[in-house]
Amino acid sequence: MHQPQHHDGFVREDPWRIFRIMAEFVDSFETLSHLGPAVTVFGSARTKPSDPYYKATMEIGRSLAKHHLAIITGGGPGIMEAANRGAAEAKGKSVGLNIELPFEQKGNRYANVPINFHYFFSRKVCFVKYSMGFVFMPGGFGTLDEFFEVVTLVQTQRISHFPLICYGSDYWGGLLKWAKTSLGKAGYISPGDLDLITLTDDPEEVVKLILEYKRRIGPPETVPQAFA
C-alpha cells in the first residue's frame, strides 16, 4: 500500500533538514561561547546613516564596546550596521548574525564576527542565549517580533530579568501606551509587566543601565546565560 505523499517527503527531506538545523546550532554555539558578556541591538535594516537613530546606535555600540561588551546584531544594514560599526570602530567584538533573505538583508562589513543562518529560529536562539542586555531601536515587523519575544521570555521567567531598553519615545511611546491601556486594563498582562521595559532617548542612559546591571551581577563568569 502506498504511503501518503507527506511521508515520502519526510523520508527524502526532513532528516537532512534536521542535520542542517543541528549544524547551525553547533557552529554558532561554538563561536559565541567564547564571546564573553554581550548586548544585542535590534532595529530596522532600512535606517540610513544620516538618520539620528543610526547615529545614536553607533554611539551606543561604541560606548558598550569600550566597556568590553560585545555587540550582537542581525548582521544586516541600517541599525544593525550602525551598532556593528560603533563596536568595530572601538576595536570591540562586533557580531553579525546574518540571515539569508531574498531581499533587504545582506551582511554589513563592520561585523568582525560574522555568522550566517538559514533558519530564523536558530538565529533567534543565539540572540537571546548569549546576551545580557537588549536594546530595541525603531524597526519594522522583525524588530517588533524580537521585542515581544524577548519581553515574553523575561515576563515568563524563562530567562533572567536582563535590561530591556526601548530607544526612541516617539517610536515606542504609542505602543507602550497601548499596552498599558488595552492589555493592562483588560488583564492580559500583569500590572508590573511593563516595568520590565525602560524607555529612553538618551544613549548614555542605555549604556549606564547595562553597565549597572553588569556590575550588579558580578564578574563575567557569573553572568546568567539564557537557555543554559
| Residue 207, all three cell numbers | 549604556
Q: What is the pLDDT of residue 14?
A: 78
Residue 161 φ/ψ, nearest 5 degrees: -80, 70
Cα–Cα distance, 212 to 224 (Å, whole number): 15
Share of the chain above pLDDT 70, in %: 88
Architecture of domain 5-217: 3-Layer(aba) Sandwich (3.40)
- On the question of pLDDT at 2 being above 90, the answer is no
Count of Cβ atoms closer than 10 Å to residue 69 Cβ: 25
Phi-psi domain of 196 (left: phi exceeds 0; alpha: psi -120 through 50; beta: other):
alpha
Mean pLDDT of 134-150: 97
Distance in angstroms (rounded) separating the CA atoms of residues 222 and 132 = 11
Q: Cα(96)–Cα(110) distance, rounded to whole angstroms? A: 8
What average pLDDT does this structure show over 66-90? Answer: 97
pLDDT band at 19 (very low <50, low <70, confident <90, very high): confident
Q: Which of 57-71, 112-126, 168-182 has the lowest mean pLDDT?
A: 112-126
Q: What is the pTM of this model?
A: 0.88
Domain boundaries, the chain: 5-217
Distance between CA atoms of 164 and 31, rounded to whole angstroms? Answer: 24
Residue 68: CA count within 13 A, CB half-sphere = 5
Residue with cell 547615529: 55
Please tell me the distance from the alpha carbon of residue 11 to that of residue 198, in angstroms, as a whole number.
Answer: 48
The three cell numbers of residue 159 are 530567562
With cut-offs at 50, 70 and 90, classify the pLDDT of residue 218.
confident
Lookup: cell for 30: 561554538
158-173: b (≥16 Cβ within 10 Å) or e: ebeebbbbbbbeebbe
pLDDT tops 80 at residue 98: yes
Q: Which of 138, 124, 176 is nearest to 56 (CA)?
A: 138
CA distance 58 to 139: 16
Average pLDDT over residues 19-26: 89
